[in-house]
Amino acid sequence: MRRTWTWHFDLPPEKLWPVLADTNRFNEAMGLPPYALEELPQTNGTVLRRGKGKAAGFTLEWEDKHYEWVHGRHFRQARLFSKGPFRRFGPIFDLAADGSGSKVSYTLEWEPLTLVGRLFGERLARQAGAAIERRILEAVAYLKGERTTFFELPAPSLPDGARERAASLADTIDKSLYGNGLGKKLAQHVLTGMATDLAHMRPKLLARQFGVKPRVAIEACLAGVRAGLLTMRWDLLCTSCRGPKVSAAALDELPRGAHCPSCNIDYERDFERNVELSCAPAAAIRPIAEGGFCLSGPMSTPHVPVQVLLAPSERREVIADLAPGSYRLRTLHPGAHADVEHRGGAFPGVRVAASGVEIVAPAGEGRIGFANDAGFEVAALIEDRTWTRDALTAAEVVTLQAFRDLFSAATLRPGDEAGVSQVALLFSDLRGSTALYERVGDAKAYNMVREHFALLAAIIRDHDGAVVKTIGDAVMASFADPADAVRAALAMQERIASHGLVLKLGVHAGQSVMVTLNERLDYFGSTVNMAARLQGQSEGGDIVLSRAIADDPAVRKLLAALPVQEETVALKGFAAPVGFLRVRPPGANRRDFHGVSRET
């Protein structure tokens, strides 16, 4: 049995899809309770997902089938019940362009299991449809700017005194160096936001919601954790479904790898890809129930544009236009995958065998063929291999000054280390600091050096970097983005002259190993040594950049209008001569450039 509702909206499909296909948010708005699934590995590598719960006064037990969808067009899902009024129940959602707007269709399909399901199925579907229509109209009104929130929802139940505590903590955040005036906004979000948005708060998403730069929101969230409004956790994301399967409250509690029961695979820790910092409300302010409102809908894995559930021997074609990019063809059970560099045109077909996925000939322009020869039901999918930029990775957060200052005790376990494929390191030193003490006296020189440290730290923070450590008069700083490191170096040389000091700077980027050294997070390896050696090549007032830094596309744009000199030097500890660029920022003391080759 089925019942269908249809609407026409004056918004395009690409505007509607991210909101109307967010089944987690919709289920919460519908008043459905959060739930968890029991995931049972099967001998063929697939996972049987069983759920229990209550709805409309009925005790329910079911098998959760995987969602199917084509991004921007369609999704469907079914639950097969062993207890409750229905044998089968599930939604079908279709979205299509309609002139300059869209046509939206929502269908409920059900098969009665009991007499109650037979007698009341139509009425229950009609009631559910009316609630769905209300929520869809609210969401569309939000997209059109006619509402300030997605849905009209009752106020959440809060612990006694939660609002007063939140207000006090908001003041504490705003008084913090890193609160950035966002304390009250954070508190309001925690007190009134949907549980869907609060259980796994991503600071970069909050930045867009608050209309601020990412670093501003990240710093405010870290200040919120320090104040006690929020809790912080390190999520070890599955490399397949990208869900947070293991979480730890501290870095030194994070394992090197984990098992994902949903995908039935083991995976390793990678600080640059799948270790993410997220936040949640403190329980004393807003407790969030365990589980989700929808555990596998289209927006739960937005990197997957197509997912289909195939019966044994089934052949199917879906209508889908995939943008050029890097894709992976795989299933939701362990097995071989296939990578595709799609340059446009017809997309390859997908054949599933018991051992995994194979690429087959395209079905045609705008169509993708799927074939299941595995001998059992499988979920096959196409995923974008690019990891989301909304994730605040561990490699990124440890290069932020706010994290270093607020959580200086956050370290790895003794003996543990984390490889980082790229970090930009800046080393500074004062030229003639010994003579400075003799010239102006110890007290004045000390104050000048201390002010120089404060100046450099402020510039490093403003350019999304962090001071790793100071060594005498020198600073070692880290940046996630090479261009940020160079911008910081240019700003340092521009501003240091007014302090009567001459600064030597070297910048290099490359692989490194993150370790705990002297009770703080530090970097170790040849990249560190190279950056320090290049700083030694600086004459003062200039910036010495390695070729790895200078060849970065964003850095090349920064250097386009600056005088640079290519040089080569033999550096201690490096077998081959090292090429670098010497840069003279505007306003620096100028002198003739000449090639040099000396042992350092």
Complete DSSP assignment for 532-552: HHHHHH--SSSEEEEHHHHTS
Average pLDDT value for residue range 189-206? 95
Q: What is the mean pLDDT of residues 207-215?
A: 96
pLDDT class of 595 with cuts at 50, 70, 90: very low
pLDDT of residue 600: 35
Find the range with the poorest average confidence among 44-48, 240-244, 434-438, 443-447: 434-438
Rounded to whole angstroms, the Cα distance separating 489 from 585 reads 9
Given a cut of 50, whether residue 591 has pLDDT beyond it is: no
φ, ψ dihedrals at 43, nearest 5°: -65, -25
In a domain, 395, yes or no: no
Beta carbons within 8 Å of 426's beta carbon, 6+ residues apart: 460, 465, 475, 476, 477, 478, 479, 485, 488, 489, 505, 506, 507, 531
Q: Are residues 504 and 432 in the same domain?
A: yes
Are 533 and 478 part of one and the same domain?
Answer: yes
Length in residues, the chain: 600
Interatomic CA distance for residues 194 and 202, integer angstroms: 14
Domain end call among 293, 324, 348: 293
Question: What pLDDT shows up at residue 592?
Answer: 39
Average pLDDT over residues 444-455: 83
Question: Using one digit for the tens of pLDDT, what is the confidence trace for 44-89?
Answer: 999 999 988 877 778 889 999 999 999 999 999 999 999 989 999 9
Give the C-alpha separation, 512 to 525, whole Å: 6
Domain that holds residue 216: 162-293
pLDDT at 58: 82
Q: Is the pLDDT of residue 466 over 70?
A: yes
Provide, rounded to the nearest whole percent, the portion of the chain with pLDDT above 90.
73
**Residue 153 belongs to some domain of the structure:** no
- pLDDT value at position 594? 37
Same domain flag for 207 and 129: no
What is the rounded average pLDDT for all residues in the chain? 91
Distances (CA, A) of 379 to 77, 110, 497: 12, 22, 63
If asked whether residues 448 and 496 sit together in one domain, one would say yes
Asked if residue 549 and residue 425 are part of one domain, the reply reads: yes
Work out the average pLDDT over 545-556.
Answer: 95
Number of other CB atoms surrounding residue 290 within 10 Å: 8
Q: Rounded mean pLDDT of 178-202?
A: 96
Residue 488 has pLDDT above 90, yes or no: yes
Between 223 and 437, the more confident residue is 223
Which range has the top average pLDDT, 206-220, 407-421, 493-507, 511-525? 206-220
* Mean pLDDT to the nearest integer, 96-120: 92
Are 286 and 371 in the same domain?
no
**pLDDT tens digit string along 15-40?**
999 999 999 999 999 988 888 889 99
Listed range (391-395, 426-430, 447-451, 507-511) with the worst mean pLDDT: 447-451
Check whether residue 514 and residue 451 sit in a common domain.
Answer: yes
Q: Give the pTM.
A: 0.87
Is residue 176 located within the same domain as residue 250?
yes
Strands (E), 274-337: 275-281, 306-310, 315-319, 325-331
The residue behind tokens 């001569």 is 577
With cut-offs at 50, 70 and 90, classify the pLDDT of residue 587.
low
The tokens of 367 are what? 């169509």
Same-domain status, 365 and 270: no
How many structural domains are present in the chain? Answer: 4
> Average of pLDDT values for 272-277?
93
Looking at the fold, whether 446 and 576 belong to one and the same domain comes out as yes
Report the pLDDT value the prediction gives residue 222, as an integer from 0 to 100: 97
Following CA atoms 277, 280, 283, 288 in sequence, which dihedral angle do they give, to the nearest 10 degrees?
Answer: -130
Distance in angstroms (rounded) separating the CA atoms of residues 56 and 413: 49
**Sign of the Cα pseudo-torsion (29, 32, 38, 41, in order):** negative
pLDDT in tens, 134-170: 999 999 999 999 998 899 999 999 999 999 999 999 9
Among 85, 111, 143, residue at a domain's last position: 143
Produce one character per residue of 27-53: b if its CB has 16 or more CB atoms within 10 Å, e if not.
Answer: bbbbeeebbebebeeeeebbbebebeb
57 Cβ contact list (under 8 Å, min separation 6): none
Instruction: Let me know if residue 600 belongs to a domain.
Output: no
Q: Are residues 329 and 230 in the same domain?
A: no
pLDDT at 147: 92
Q: What is the pLDDT of residues 303-345, one digit of tens each?
A: 999 999 999 999 999 999 999 999 999 999 889 999 999 999 9
Four-CA torsion 490, 560, 567, 493, nearest 10 degrees: -10
Distance, in Å, from the CA atom of 262 to the CA atom of 277, rounded to the nearest integer, reads 21
Residue 67: inside a domain:
yes
pLDDT tens digits, residue range 389-403? 889 999 999 999 999
Asked if residue 398 lies in contact with residue 386, where contact means CB atoms within 8 angstroms, the answer is no
pLDDT score at 544? 97
> Using CA atoms, how far apart are residues 94 and 73, in angstroms rounded to an integer?
6
Residue ending a domain, choose from 248, 274, 293: 293
Are 408 and 549 part of one and the same domain? Answer: yes
Helix, strand, coil % in the chain, rounded to nearest 5: 30, 35, 35
Is a pLDDT exceeding 80 seen at residue 446? no
User: What whole-number distance in Å separates Cα of residue 291 and Cα of residue 195?
Assistant: 10
Report the candidate in 451, 471, 541 with the shortest Cα–Cα distance to residue 504: 541
